[in-house]
A and B are shown apart, each in its own frame.
Chain A
Amino acid sequence: QKEVEQNSGPLSVPEGAIASLNCTYSDRGSQSFFWYRQYSGKSPELIMFIYSNGDKEDGRFTAQLNKASQYVSLLIRDSQPSDSATYLCAVGGSGAGSYQLTFGKGTKLSVIP
């Protein structure tokens, strides 16, 4: 059974601070990793994806991947109240099952003005 673990939160950070969201996964063969943002009552929206070890930056967002430790993280710099949402970590399957995303249950982020 593939597992993706996230702290459920809530994670509260002041406006302008860095929010750090973490995720661990069980399938060592996984090759693709995604962060989705989900506002209450809305659908998941892709924020970042990463395939290789290291960091990947896009604007205020940085995804970090460490396959040896089976660990993925998302940093949000200069956090804004509009970043308040649930962040879902999704991990793709290995080999022919790469299409199969296993989602964590999400971390709820609250950015305090």
Chain B
Amino acid sequence: DAGVIQSPRHEVTEMGQEVTLRCKPISGHNSLFWYRQTMMRGLELLIYFNNNVPIDDSGMPEDRFSAKMPNASFSTLKIQPSEPRDSAVYFCASSLSGGRDIQYFGAGTRLSVL
């Protein structure tokens, strides 16, 4: 079975540009999570969707970050405008129904903002 699919795997952009990261959760999973991983802060939850609805966006760092989930099989995380401090690995994860269910991670997108 296909796992969580993320694209692109690597993104290099210049400060001020818009960046869009994409995620396809595991089929049948109704919960989706976006995380950011840095050496300094480790792995942090940015936003949580359940049944395509954003439930918890308290981890979104600022208004430059936005996330959408237009349907059960697709989500985007957008950064506009991007800044060098946004450089990190961004992971998408999905779980069967949220709660205590196991979260399965995608391969991640390594973002570098120059």
State the A residues within 8 Å of B (CB).
Answer: 31-32, 34, 36, 42-46, 49, 51, 88, 92, 97-101, 103-106
Q: How far is the CA of A66 from the CA of B104 in the complex (A)?
A: 25
- Which residues of chain B have a CB within 8 Å of any CB of chain A? 31, 33, 42-45, 48, 50, 55-56, 91, 95, 98-108
User: Given A100-B56, A104-B42, A44–B91 Cβ distance below 8 Å?
Assistant: yes
Taking a contact as CB atoms under 8 Å apart, the answer to whether A43 and B105 are in contact is yes
The 8 Å CB contact of A44, one of B43, B50, B56, B99, is B43
Hey, which chain A residues are within 8 Å of B104, CB to CB?
Answer: 46
Select B105's contact among A31, A44, A97, beta carbons within 8 Å: A44
Q: Are B105 and A105 within 8 A (Cβ)?
A: no
Q: Are B45 and A101 in contact (CB under 8 A)?
A: yes
The distance in angstroms between the C-alpha atoms of A92 and B95, with both chains bound, is: 13
Could you tell me the distance between the alpha carbons of A109 and B30 in the complex, rounded to whole angstroms?
A: 34
Given contacts A46-B102, A49-B102, contact A103 B43 (CB under 8 A): yes
B4 (CB) vs chain A CBs: closest residue? A43
**Known A99-B48, A100-B48: A43·B108 in contact at CB below 8 Å:** yes
Measured in the bound complex, the distance between the Cα atoms of B91 and A88 in whole Å is: 15
7 contacts between A and B (CB under 8 A): A92-B100, A99-B31, A99-B56, A99-B98, A99-B101, A103-B43, A104-B42
> Does B107 contact A43, Cβ atoms closer than 8 Å?
yes
Residue of A with least CB distance to B97 = A99
Q: Which of B42, B95, B100, B101 has the most CB of A within 10 A?
A: B100
